[in-house]
Each structure stands twice: as structure tokens, then as C-alpha cells.
Structure 1
């Protein structure tokens, strides 16, 4: 479905993405991970040309996105849902109005746009707050409105750029639950940039590890995190082991105290 060949992007003297090649199959959930500044977000934003690549090709169902005109690109972007770190909601609009705005601007009748938006909000568990404005919603709820806004287009491909990065840790789980359900039912192909290890272990069909603009390792979660071959993979393995050991010691202490 998605095939990236030799993607390259630089900002001045900084090479952000260095000849990256990868593919994502229809219905697959692929998670991109790596240290901050490794090029994850730049790579995913280049797919629908929110960032213009300096080299390489990006094929969506056989069409090279990098060669499209602005008008052609607008059509392709309707097939690609994008969930950002920031919520980017309009404060004066209700949740359902935020979701339906893009549909109406694209020419869909308001009645049909409203029905699609209600269905999308229901998918993310917000059917009880459709008339609430962003100021009346928690951060997690606002991000779920952003997810519904992307889902309303019924996209073939969903791109997620660290969707929990701006959330309080207490609110992260409600967004991850929505993402896990979408991955489970496989209604859309998903490419996710995240630091959430538990989510990646539980949901991803494949993990792609990046470092310094390049892919350094790729494979099933149980292989990448259990028998890593890259330095980044080994650091993730150590982090997982540390978290497990810390949890075990905490549980042991609680049993002794009780």
C-alpha cells in the first residue's frame, strides 16, 4: 500500500532523514520508534508532504506522491488521516463542528458531514460530548476529537505523529485505548510515531527503529525488543527490563508491607 524509496530530507547542514526506505502493507500497524531528533516525525510528515522531501519517492497504491501537483495532492490527502501532537481544534466550534468542518469545506452537504462526524465521534467514545467546545473537554478528549476528525474521511492510511506527547500522563491511556481498538479492527492501515513502548508491544505488527535519520532495525516486536541487533534496540530492551524489575520490586514491597 505504502512504499518509501530512498527518502532524504535536510534542514541546512542537518540531515534529518537519510535515504530511508520502507513499506507498509494494507491493514498493517507499523510503529516507528527511536530517540528524539532521529527523524521519525520528519519522515512521517513527508508522506503527505506536510514537509517537502529533498529526494526519494513515496508511493501510495502505486502513485508517487512526490510528483503530484497541489490539486492532485489535496485529493490524496483525503485518503490519509493525520493525527498531530497538538490538538489544533477551533475553540469557538463544538466537537462535532470541529470534525465536520473539513468535510463541509470539501463540498460535502452539511447533513451528510454531520452524520459522518457523529459516527466518527462515536468510534472514539465521545458521542456524549458532541456539543461541547474544546474548553469543556479534557486533553485526552480533545485529542480524541482530533482522531475523529481524521477518521471522518474514512482514510485508507492513518498517520500518527506522537499523538500522546502533549498529554498529561494520566490522560495518555484513553487515547491509546482508541488507537488499540482501531488497530484491532484493522479498519485502516496505521503508521505510528510514538515513544509508548507498551502500546508498541501490544499493538504493532512491526517495529521500525530509527537513529540519526536512518532505519537501524525492523521486525516483529518480540524479536526487536527481545533479541535486538542495533544499539537503539538494545537500549529499548534495557529500558523494558528496568521497568519490569522496578514493577516487580514495587509489588514485592507492597506484599511485604501488607
Structure 2
């Protein structure tokens, strides 16, 4: 549905060229929710603004539903944008217009009749939970309600693609969850392809099917969300995953912890697994079979794209040969990473 080919965006600042996007290629499947995550300044917002040509790429192609919109005339581009809705971090509502009129604005600009507008707007107000707010003004709404208005407005022209630029960054956690649930529902009900730009891993783990991670204008890793959590390949990806599972420093072993093995040191491993009931019987079996003990340092169950995923950090105690046998046994059955050693 969305395909970026060798996309590059160069800005000139102070006489120097700066690559905000550096040769990025990615594909967003039709009907999916695709997340792009990265730290501040990674180029995420520039990337998403290139998808509807709010920023014109310096090089490369942007294909939406098979059409290269970088080659369209101004008139054809305006028409193509009807199929690309967009919501922003700060809502961008008109304070002098009611909820109904804010949602209706794109249709008014497109020359729709009053009946056509009513037929489009009223169902969207119900879909976004704003049926009783149609005559309210933005000043009378909460932040979550304002974002729901922005979402309804973006859907008014019946787009096939919805772009979300840090759409939950200005919201509190509870409101964020409700907005993410709404986006998931919109994706399922209306079959709209959603591209989300975010710096929050909680957004990715809650609703995304696939995720790409950006750093200094480049895509450095891309995968299905479940595999991204199970087996992050880059250190930046691992940092984002650790933040999402709220992994904490292990203060009680910090003074004895080393990243390198030494004689008599015991490994500390991170175990990642899918399913709530898989790991406890497995650890019990390993402990009995190889005569090792497992000191559980941290453990958590998270929901990643509607699947239960477990994260555990353990210290393995035993004779060196038995420890190696335990590690080999576990590696065949769960995702396992040796993160250090305790003396």
C-alpha cells in the first residue's frame, strides 16, 4: 500500500547540507499497522511528511496504492491526498468551529453538499465516541477528545491510508490507551492502512504489526513486532525493548556483575518467550535434569500485539558443565541472551 524507494531528504542549514532521510526503502502492507520508531531527531517526522508530500523528497520515490505521488502535478497530488489522511501531535483544530464543523472541514473544501457532509460526518462521530459532542467547541474538550476529533476529520474523505505523527505524545497514559484502541478498531472496521511515527515503544507493542527503527535518517532494523521483541538485532533496538518491558538495573548484584566471563562466575541470562505458561515448567525441568539452580532476578509478562510475551532475567548456579548443558537446552526452546556474569 505504501512503498518508499531510496527516499532521501536533504535540508540546507547555515550553508551546509543535512540528510534528514538517508536512502530509506520500506514497504507497508495493505491493511497493516506499521510503526516507525526512533529517538528525537532520527528523521521520523520528516519521513512521514514525505509520504503525503508535505515535504518533497530530494531523491527517491513514494508509492501509495501503486501510484508514484512524487511525479504528480499539483492538481493530481491534491486529488491523491484525499486517499491519505493525517493526524498530528497537537490536533490542529479550529477553535471557532464546533466538533461537527471541524470534522466537516475537508468535505466543505472539496465542495461536498450538506447532505453528503452529514452522511459522512455523523457516522464518524459515532465511531470515534463523539456523538454527544457534535455541538461542542475545542475549548470544551479534553485532550483525548480533541485527538478523536482530529482522527474523525482525517477519516472524513474516506482515505485508504492514515498517517499518525506522534499522535499520542501529548496525551496521558490512560488517554493514550483509548486512542490506540480506537486506531486498532478503525484499522479492523475500515480496513485502513496505518503508518505510525512514534518514540514510544508502548505504542508499537500495543497495536503495530511491523516496526522499523530509525537512527540518523536511516532504517537500521525492521521486523514483525513479535520478532522485534523476541530478537532485537541492534543495540538501539535492544534499548527500546528494555524500555518497553520496564527492565530495571539489578542493584543487588551490580557490584559483582561483569560483562566478561571469569573462572567460577555464573551467567546472568535474559529469557524471552511467547505464552504465559511456558517458562516455569521449562526452568523446573532444566533444574532437575542438569542439577542447576535458577535465581530469578526479574520477571514480567507483557502484551505485544495482542499476544502474551514473557521476559525473565535469571542467574544460573551450578557446575560449569551443567550450566553449559542448561544453556544449550534452553537455547533450543526459548530466546536466550547471556548478558553478563556474576562472581
TM-score, normalization by structure 1: 0.91
Larger proportion of helix: 1
Q: Tell me the distance in 1 between the aligned counterparts of 2:130 and 2:156.
A: 13
Q: Tell me the distance in 2 between the aligned counterparts of 1:11 and 1:142.
A: 32
1:170 Cα shift?
A: 4.6
Distance 1:202 1:174, change over 3 A: closer
Partner of 2:226: 222
Q: Confirm or deny that 1:37 pairs with 2:61.
A: no
Q: Confirm or deny that 1:197 pairs with 2:206.
A: no
Range 181-190 or range 18-27, more displaced: 181-190
Partner of 2:320: none
Q: Confirm or deny that 1:88 pairs with 2:100.
A: no
* Per-residue Cα deviation, 1:169-225 (whole angstroms, up to 9, x for no partner): 453222222112223435201111123323312321111111110111111112112
Partner of 2:135: 131
State the number of aligned residues: 248
1:161 Cα shift?
A: 0.4
Unaligned runs of 5+ in 2: 249-297, 302-343
Partner of 2:55: 51
Distance 1:241 1:89, change over 3 A: closer
Distance 1:186 1:119, change over 3 A: closer
The structure whose RCO (Cα within 8 Å, separation 6+) is larger is: 1
Larger proportion of strand: 2
Partner of 1:237: 241
Partner of 2:74: 70
Q: Tell me the distance in 2 between the aligned counterparts of 1:50 and 1:240.
A: 31
Partner of 2:32: 28
Q: Secondary structure at the match of 1:78?
A: helix
Partner of 1:6: 6
* Per-residue Cα deviation, 1:23-79 (whole angstroms, up to 9, x for no partner): 112111111111111111100100111011111011122221111111111000000
Q: Secondary structure at the match of 2:3?
A: strand
Asked whether the equivalents of residues 201 and 241 of structure 2 are also in contact (C-alpha less than 8 Å), the reply is no
Distance 1:165 1:11, change over 3 A: same
Q: Tell me the distance in 1 between the aligned counterparts of 2:6 and 2:94.
A: 37
1:133 Cα shift?
A: 0.5
Q: Secondary structure at the match of 1:225?
A: helix
Q: Tell me the distance in 2 between the aligned counterparts of 1:190 and 1:97.
A: 25
Q: Tell me the distance in 2 between the aligned counterparts of 1:185 and 1:103.
A: 21
How large is the Cα RMSD of the aligned pairs?
A: 1.8
Unaligned runs of 5+ in 1: 249-258
Partner of 2:175: 171
1:246 Cα shift?
A: 9.5
Q: Tell me the distance in 2 between the aligned counterparts of 1:219 and 1:241.
A: 18
Partner of 2:23: 19
Residue 122 (structure 1) aligned to one of 117, 126, 140: 126
Structure with larger Rg: 2
Q: Secondary structure at the match of 1:163?
A: coil
Q: Secondary structure at the match of 1:38?
A: coil
Q: Tell me the distance in 2 between the aligned counterparts of 1:98 and 1:193.
A: 24
